[in-house]
Structures are given as C-alpha cells and as structure tokens.
Amino acid sequence: MTDFSLFETMRYTPGEGIARLNLHLKRLETSARRLGFIGADKAEETLASYLGAPASLQRLRLELSPTGEITITSAPFTLQPEDTVWRIAIAQTRTASTDPLIRYKTTHRALYETARAEFPSDTINEVILLNEKGELAEGTITNLFVEDDEGRLMTPPISSGCLAGVLRTSLICARKAYNHRLRPEDLKGRTLFVGNSLRGLIRAELIGE
C-alpha cells in the first residue's frame, strides 16, 4: 500500500504556535512506522524551517510520501464563531471497521468524497458514516462527539472504524471524552459535536433524524 501519502492538518496561532503539535507529530510517526513510510522523524524540523513566524492564523498541511518526501502548504485561516452550529447528516455510504487504512490519516479519501457527494454542499456541513454493523464511526473530516448525562463526551471507539483524531485524543487524555459504541438512535435528544484539531469542537445538529 504505497499509492497514498500521510498528512496532518494543523492550526498555527501567532504567539501560541501549532495547536497540539506533539500529538500531530506522534500520530504521523506512529502511522509511518506501521505503514513502512520513512522520513517522519524530519517533520518537526521541516515544519520549523518552513514556518518562520507568520503574523496571522494559518492552516498548515504537512504531507509525507512513502519515500520520505515532506511537502508543506499553508493558507490564512479563520476560526468560526463559538455559537456556530454545523448541520450534519448520516450517509448511506458505509465504512468498514476492518479496513486497515481507516485508522490512518491518508490521501486515500475516495470513501469520504463519495459520502459527501450524497448531500448538497450548501445544505450539509458534515457527513457522518456508519460501519458495516450500523455503528456510528466518524465524519468525513471530523470525529463525532455525543454529550452524556454528566456532560462528558462519548465518541466512537477506533474499533468502530474511525481515525484517532488529534482533538479526539487530546479530549480523551484530558478525561473530557471517552470511547463508547454508538448507533444513530443514541443521538436523539443529545447534544452533539463534531470536531478536529484545526477547527476545535463545533456544535452540531442532525438533519433528517
């Protein structure tokens, strides 16, 4: 499996640096080791050399090829207001919990593009995938979070077929979130969020429930 690259999408804030950088680098290094990629150990140095000190919020994308080539791109980024609510929907397209690539952030994204194409982009902000067992897995660019009765966040486990998102990992480590198998009926009447390391947590509303 070498027809794809690994990548990390990160947020740079002036005066603060890259959000959750250590977790991004750790995930990249772990993925590279497991998939036989080389060059992940150069990522931090390459980022520092590329970045300098931008004066504005930036969206960074670091891509690592199987042969160790690192490509970095950046663009100005604006965080959404805290009261933003994303409209989300559940796709007919299913993911496979046994797919070995699901657990890695790669440029192999045909599955997610197919899921997103089920809905008009001007009506839905994010699309959630189920696995072959009917369990909730993940969004096309986010992890899913469901608030429990105590205010903690439940999120589908990796074994349901989702990426170990950096924001997800940080919330679990901080004991603000925990793994819990979820089905669509578990979303009813619950406060929902989607999120990733670039955007943070975003309140969500399920459309078509």
Asked if residue 165 and residue 67 are part of one domain, the reply reads no
- Which of 54, 76, 98 lies at the terminal end of a domain, its last residue? 76
- State residue 55's pLDDT score: 80
Q: pLDDT (tens digit, 0 to 9) for every residue of the chain, 209 residues total?
A: 568 999 999 999 998 999 999 999 999 999 999 999 999 999 999 999 998 877 899 999 999 999 999 999 999 999 999 999 999 999 999 999 999 899 999 999 999 999 999 999 899 999 999 999 999 999 999 999 999 999 999 999 999 999 999 999 999 999 999 999 999 999 999 999 999 999 999 999 999 76
Asked if residue 97 and residue 185 are part of one domain, the reply reads yes
The CATH number of the domain holding residue 178 is 3.20.10.10
Asked if residue 103 and residue 66 are part of one domain, the reply reads no
Q: Using an 8 Å Cβ cutoff, are 74 and 59 in contact?
A: yes
- State residue 1's pLDDT score: 59
Q: What would the two tokens of residue 127 be?
A: 């699309």
d(CA 66, CA 35): 9
Asked if residue 119 and residue 191 are part of one domain, the reply reads yes
- State residue 100's pLDDT score: 87
Q: Using an 8 Å Cβ cutoff, are 18 and 28 in contact?
A: no
- Supply the range of the domain harboring residue 72: 6-76
Asked if residue 1 is part of any domain, the answer here is no
Residue among 85, 28, 83 nearest 61 (CA): 28
Q: Using an 8 Å Cβ cutoff, are 71 and 63 in contact?
A: yes
Whole-structure pTM over 0.85, yes or no? yes
- Which residues, in sequence order, are bridge partners of residue 178? 154
The CATH number of the domain holding residue 42 is 3.30.470.10
Asked if residue 105 and residue 165 are part of one domain, the reply reads yes
Asked if residue 135 is part of any domain, the answer here is yes
Asked if residue 90 and residue 37 are part of one domain, the reply reads no
Q: Using an 8 Å Cβ cutoff, are 124 and 184 in contact?
A: no
Contacts of 150 (CB under 8 A, 6+ apart): none
- Which of 18, 49, 76 lies at the terminal end of a domain, its last residue? 76
DSSP type of residue 124: -
Length of the chain: 209
Asked if residue 94 and residue 64 are part of one domain, the reply reads no
d(CA 121, CA 44): 35
DSSP type of residue 147: E
Asked if residue 177 is part of any domain, the answer here is yes
Domains of the chain: total: 2
- Which of 15, 47, 76 lies at the terminal end of a domain, its last residue? 76
Asked if residue 168 is part of any domain, the answer here is yes
Burial class (CB in 10 A: 0-12, 13-18, 19+), 170: middle
- State residue 2's pLDDT score: 67
d(CA 66, CA 122): 36
Asked if residue 123 and residue 187 are part of one domain, the reply reads yes
Q: Phi and psi of 8, rounded to 5°?
A: -130, 135
